[in-house]
Structure formats: structure tokens, C-alpha cells
Structure 1
Amino acid sequence: MSRPGPRNLITDVDGIQVGNAEDFEALTGTTVILADEPVTAACAVAGGGPGTRETDLLRADTMVEQVDAVVLSGGSAYGLAAADGVCARLGAMGRGYGLKDLPGVPKTPIVPSAILYDLANGGKKDWGQNPPYRQLGEEAFENHNKHFGLGNVGCGIGANAGAHAGGLGSASLITNDGITIGAVAGVNCFGSVFMPNTTCFWAWPFEIGGEFGGHRPPEDYECDPEEWGDAKMNPQPGQNTTIACIATDVDLNPAQAHRVAQMALSGFSRAIRPVFAPFDGDALFVISTGKVKLEEPTPIALTRIGELAASTLARAIARGVYEADQKVTA
């Protein structure tokens, strides 16, 4: 029987750590997913209003096949600067890509990133020419650990999920043959994570052990296809996004990681309705530490990994909102 890892966090994947940093006045923050060693990576973007960095480099036909970290940040376009702080810290450690070692020539850390929009959440954003995101990236890097909080932390501190508080969520799964998959998500969606007129998450069929409250839909529940429940009914362009990262210890090449990313996008639709709207910036990264070799025929193995990644992501999204709501109502 597959089960969550000991932390039920993406850091149950060996070789992965996460750091968070927040600016409580500005109500914004940054999350860094740090790999102990370079990892294979891919990206899939499904929202109509994305904000990303280095995603072109993750195509299967490009030269650089591995990354050092992934950054998820608040701040809209300003938040892309969080990756600058992470690059600086990694470069100072001598990490990064280089064709060969040359005296006096620094390596180039590869740090893809995605952002969500939290500029209109009421926080103090009058930062002039000094947005806080490079510093937040450095602080989140310094805070990297196997343990981290959920809900109103990191890139989720200023997020809103429909009419509810959004947040940072994470979940993991270990299969009976020893494969580990983890997900982390910053949930700031236009759509609702709850079934209309209930306290039940859309992701409830994938919940394990009551990890986001154990609520179930009423018997004989029906939902009008036009009923969106607690969605943001009057969205403004660019203000809604769920950004996420999947990690696995299965050895994937770039093309295989891309296929897993494409399949894992369905985790968004299992947890949020509606999703991938024109004003959502939904983006998903997949990283592979390569420590477990595929034993099944590749198409079958990839199908399995993609499906497990999707359900783990759905759980992470629900946990992010559940933990944020718990703190708001406490």
C-alpha cells in the first residue's frame, strides 16, 4: 500500500530541501526548492497568464539538462528577482553549469522560477526601486531544511484561493516498491478548491489519513456545471495563479520528465475548479534526483509516475488551503 512519507512533504524525496522567507509588511514571500546536487528538470505551463524564468532552457532539445534549484515566489514580475538571490548564493558555493573549469570564470547556477500575483492583497508594496525579492530569495535559500511549514508561509503568505486564504501546500507518497514522489504548491487560484456549498475539497478522493480535514460530500450530492462555488467571481487579469514543483527519485531524462509534467497538470484540475483560466498563470516544474532506476518498460513506468504525481499534487494544493484556513480561523 502506497503511503505518505514520514514528513508528508516534498522533502521526503532524498536530496531535496525547501526554504521559505516572508516579508510580513508587504504580505509576500518566496519558496526555494533546493537540490543537494544538480537534478534533471522539466516544466509545463497551462495558465493563460504565466510569469516564469529559465523555462525555455528546460525543453528536451536544449543543452543544459539539469538545474540547481527551483524558485516559487509572490510578487508578480518583481518576484522573478528572487532567483537572483538564489543564484548568487549557489554561485558563491561554486555550483552551476560550465562546459569546463576556467580560472576566474564563475559557473552559472540554473534556477528556473515561477511567480504568483499578490500585489493587490493589502500588503505594503511601496518599495520604489527596491523590491524585496532578491533578499527574500537569499533568505529562503539560507532557511532550507527538510522540515518547513505550510499555509501562510513562503510564496503562499499573501495568496488567495478563490474566496478563501491560499497558501503553501505539500504532500508526498512512497510506493510499495520504494519510489518517492513529492509536491509543493503555492495556491493563489481564481477557481475554488471546495465543492460548491460544502466544506469538502474537490481533491477529497485523493486524501490520505485526513490530511486536509477528512470532509466528504453529502450523500447524493449534485453540482450544476455553471456553479463555481467560492471562486473569485470578478477576476482581474494576472491576479491568479497556482505554481508548483514535483520531485521524484525516479531516474528521468528531460523528455521523460516533460511527459510526467504534462500528466501531472491534471493534479491542478483535480483540486481546483475552474482552472487554467486566461487570467491564471498556472505552471508546474518536475525535478528528478535519478536515484531509483526504472525497471518496468518505460511507457508503463512513465504512466504510473505521471498519475502518482498528479494525485500527490492535488493533495498538496488542498493541504495548502486547509493549513492557511486553519491559521486564519484559529
Structure 2
Amino acid sequence: MEHSRTVMLHTFVRVCHAWSPRQACLRNLAATGACLSQAPSMAHRLASPLRPLNLRSTASLRPLNVRSTVQPCSIQVGKPAPPQGLEGQTKLGEMTAEFPIRIPGLAIGHARDVDAKTGVSVFLFDPPAVAAGWLGGVATSTRQADALRPEHVVPAVDAFLFVGGSAYGLDATGGALSWLEAHGRGLTTRHGLVPVCPTAAIYDLGFGRGDLRPAAAMAAAACEAARSDAVAQGSVGAGTGATVGKLYGVAQAMKGGFGAATAEEDELVVQAFVACNAFGDVVDPETGRIIAGARGHPTSFDFIDTARRLAEGERPSPFIKPRPENTVLTAVVANARLDKAQCQLAAKRAEDGIRAAVRPALSPVDGDVVFLAATGAVQADPEAVGRLAACAVAQAIIAAVRHADGFGLVPAWRDREAAKARDGA
């Protein structure tokens, strides 16, 4: 079994090297798998954290199958915010970057609590969109996500909601439901409208003030602020208190955030929006290099390479033992015409984007979630939607950290870039 896994790994590495740059967005998976092949004694102990990298199954790689006749997708990402040192942070929100919304019928809004460093992001669909989800993480925190099951009687959703505050933040859903009801949106029943708003939460209680969590008023404010032309990126909305690279806790982590990206092919447009609060390091899928992640010391910018440390058998002390306090929340919206089962298939494929940009991904302390909605304008193959979604998700994760602001609490990508520029690196 060990031999067959190693042979398949080597085959996968050769295929990755044969890809064009645009198709290489899962290349870093080989590096993580190689760590396991070099440390077989760790394979059993790391089976859960690296479950998505099971090299005995090729299903997880289908969205980026190099034998596909579909041409490489065109990716659109926002321009990173300029670097700035920790000692000169601007006011909250001044350095956010807007990203164009390309899907008709979609509007996105953010709201946040400046003191608590937490917030919410809402995705409104008018008319309602066919949607499904894939809860790949084992530490998920959701509400009304059962409506996304293909066999569920609800035919479409009115909104998605991402919240901070962990399970406490799920209470904010009531504000979104009330707003939707007041605006005549929801499933018609004999006794009134019942809006459908699947919600997922990140754990950000350890970043700002954990006693202040998103509530109904915040979600209603996000709905009121929703725009159909552009959405802000960075430390906004559900990404306000997000962090990444938490092997040694938040003190040695870096700032995560909210990011967006678009992948398109002919008339098919797929947009991904993420709140990146991952346990693992965020890596550039093209190079495999870490761009934000766990650091060797609270005052250092040197990355420890979480996946490598775990593969070598290192474990943090019991005082900072990793806990289920991490996740990447992903909303994918496509202008495709799909049914719920096809949406779920595409959502599963979209998860490959998390694997491409986070290392290790989908660990036992992550609650990764993909919600995928199809607005019905273009006839499309769900496999193509999933493949484009994976590319967009990976780039949205990169955008989330590149636009993030650490508020002077933890360093952000721009702070590290500023330090490198000062040091002449």
C-alpha cells in the first residue's frame, strides 16, 4: 500500500510539472504529500489532518484534470493593497480594496464591530438561486445548511450569510431573515414568508473582544449595505477577525480576511468569495511558497512551514494545542444553469481550491465549508463550474491575506512585505 501511494504521488508530481502555469493551482499538494512519503511513520498520525490528500483516490483531482478538453480559465483578482508597517496602521477599512461583482442578481454586503474585531458578510440573491453545499471540514458551525442538501424540499435560497463569533454569531441569522421577510423575499407558506439563508461561522473569539459577537442588527445592517456592483476585500465582514497559520496560536499567526476572485470561460462566469481563517499556512499555488502563516516567534516574520513541521513529528505544547477554531468559508456563485445535485458536485470540486492555497488544508481543527449557488443564465457542465470554482477559490484565499489589515495585533502580508523592503530582501 505504501509503495502504491508513493508511485501515485510520483505520477502526480510529473503531471503537475507538465501543466501550464494557469493549470498548476494544485501543485503544492505534491509537496505536502512528499512530506508524508518521506516520513511514513507519521502517516497514521497525520491521516486525519491530510485526509483530502489521499493519493489513492483521484476523484478530488478531477476539477483540474489536465486531460480535460476545456481551455485554461481566465482569472481576475484584485490589486493588493500597498504594504504598511505595524507602527503606522491606517484606520480600520481605509486600505480595503473593492472587487467587481460580475453575476447579475447577486449583491454582497459587509458589517462589522470595530471594537470586537468581528463581522458578517451577506450574499443576497434576487431572484432566489439554486444552491447546494459541501461541508468538508469536521469542525463546522452552521445554521439552515440542511436546506442545501439535494434531497431537501427547498428549491432555492434567498441568501448566504458568513459570520464571526463562532456558534454565538449564528444568532445573527435572525437579522438577515427579518430583513429578507420585510423585503418580500422567502419561501411562500400558508402562514407567511420563510426566507432561506444558510449560515456558516468562523471562530474569531481570540482575536478581538470575544464577549462581543455578531447579532441580528449587524446582519440586517449588512443586508442594507449590500451592493451589486462591487464588494470590499480585506479585514471586513466575516473576515474582520480572521487569522491564518495557527500551529502555535494566534500570537504567532498572521492576518486572514475576506477575498474574492473570478474565473471565466466563454460565457461561463464563476466568482468565489472567502473568509479565510485557516489553521494552515496560505501558499501561492504557482510557486508553493508560503505568503502568510505560522511564524517562529511573535516578533518574527520567518515562517515555520506548518505542514513540514507536522510531517516531521513536531507538536506544540499543551498550552497552545490546536483546537477546532479555524475554517475557510467559501461562497461560490456561477451564472450557470444547474440543479441542486449538480451544484453539490461543483461545490465538492471547488474544495480543491482550498487544498491548493492552504497547507495543510481541511485539518481536524478546520470547519471548511463551500456554499455554491447557480443563477441559471448559462447552460454549463457542473464539472466545468467546479474546475473554474477551484481556481477562483484558490485565488480568493490569496486575495484575502494580501488585502488584510492586522490592526497592529498580528502582522499582515503587507507588513511582512514592508519589512522585507526595509531590510532590502
Question: Shorter-chain TM-score: what band?
Answer: 0.7 to 0.9
Tell me the equivalent position of 2:18.
Answer: none
5+ unaligned residues in a row in structure 1: which ranges?
195-200, 207-211, 213-222, 295-300
Higher helix share: 2
Tell me the equivalent position of 2:226.
Answer: 144
Tell me the equivalent position of 1:209.
Answer: none
Seen in structure 2, the aligned counterparts of structure 1 residues 21 and 290 have a Cα distance that, compared at 3 Å, is same
Seen in structure 2, the aligned counterparts of structure 1 residues 228 and 169 have a Cα distance that, compared at 3 Å, is farther
Tell me the equivalent position of 1:84.
Answer: 174
In the alignment, residue 89 of structure 1 is paired with which amino acid?
W
For residue 261 of structure 2, the aligned residue among 171, 175, 184 is 171
Tell me the equivalent position of 1:50.
Answer: 140
**TM-score for both structures, normalised by structure 2:** 0.64
**Alpha-carbon distance between aligned partners in 2 of 1:228 and 1:166, rounded to the nearest angstrom:** 21
Tell me the equivalent position of 2:363.
Answer: 277
**Alpha-carbon distance between aligned partners in 2 of 1:308 and 1:126, rounded to the nearest angstrom:** 39
Deviations 1:258-317 (A, max 9, x none): 1001111111100001111111111110000011123xxxxxx22221111111100001
Say if 1:68 and 1:111, in contact at 8 Å, map to a contact too.
yes
Say if 2:120 and 2:214, in contact at 8 Å, map to a contact too.
no
**TM-score for both structures, normalised by structure 1:** 0.82
2:239 aligned with 1:156: yes
**Alpha-carbon distance between aligned partners in 2 of 1:92 and 1:224, rounded to the nearest angstrom:** 47
**Alpha-carbon distance between aligned partners in 1 of 2:358 and 2:310, rounded to the nearest angstrom:** 10
Tell me the equivalent position of 2:325.
Answer: 239
Secondary structure of 1:226's match? helix
Say if 1:228 and 1:274, in contact at 8 Å, map to a contact too.
no
Seen in structure 2, the aligned counterparts of structure 1 residues 283 and 235 have a Cα distance that, compared at 3 Å, is farther
Secondary structure of 1:48's match? coil
Say if 1:190 and 1:235, in contact at 8 Å, map to a contact too.
no
Secondary structure of 1:169's match? strand
**Alpha-carbon distance between aligned partners in 1 of 2:177 and 2:397, rounded to the nearest angstrom:** 27
**Alpha-carbon distance between aligned partners in 2 of 1:136 and 1:307, rounded to the nearest angstrom:** 34
Listed as ranges, the matches of 1:74-223 within 5 Å are 74-99=164-189, 102=190, 105-121=191-207, 123-127=208-212, 131-145=213-227, 146-162=229-245, 163-175=253-265, 177-194=266-283, 201=284, 203-204=285-286
5+ unaligned residues in a row in structure 2: which ranges?
1-71, 79-97, 246-252, 292-304, 405-411, 419-425
**Alpha-carbon distance between aligned partners in 2 of 1:10 and 1:82, rounded to the nearest angstrom:** 26
Which consecutive segments of 4 or more residues in structure 1 shift more than 6 A? none
Secondary structure of 1:281's match? coil
In the alignment, residue 37 of structure 1 is paired with which amino acid?
P
Give the CA RMSD over aligned residues.
2.6
Deviations 1:221-259 (A, max 9, x none): xx9963469xx9645322111111000000010000010
Secondary structure of 1:49's match? coil
Q: Percent identity?
A: 33
Tell me the equivalent position of 1:65.
Answer: 155
Secondary structure of 1:148's match? strand
For residue 316 of structure 1, the aligned residue among 362, 384, 396 is 396
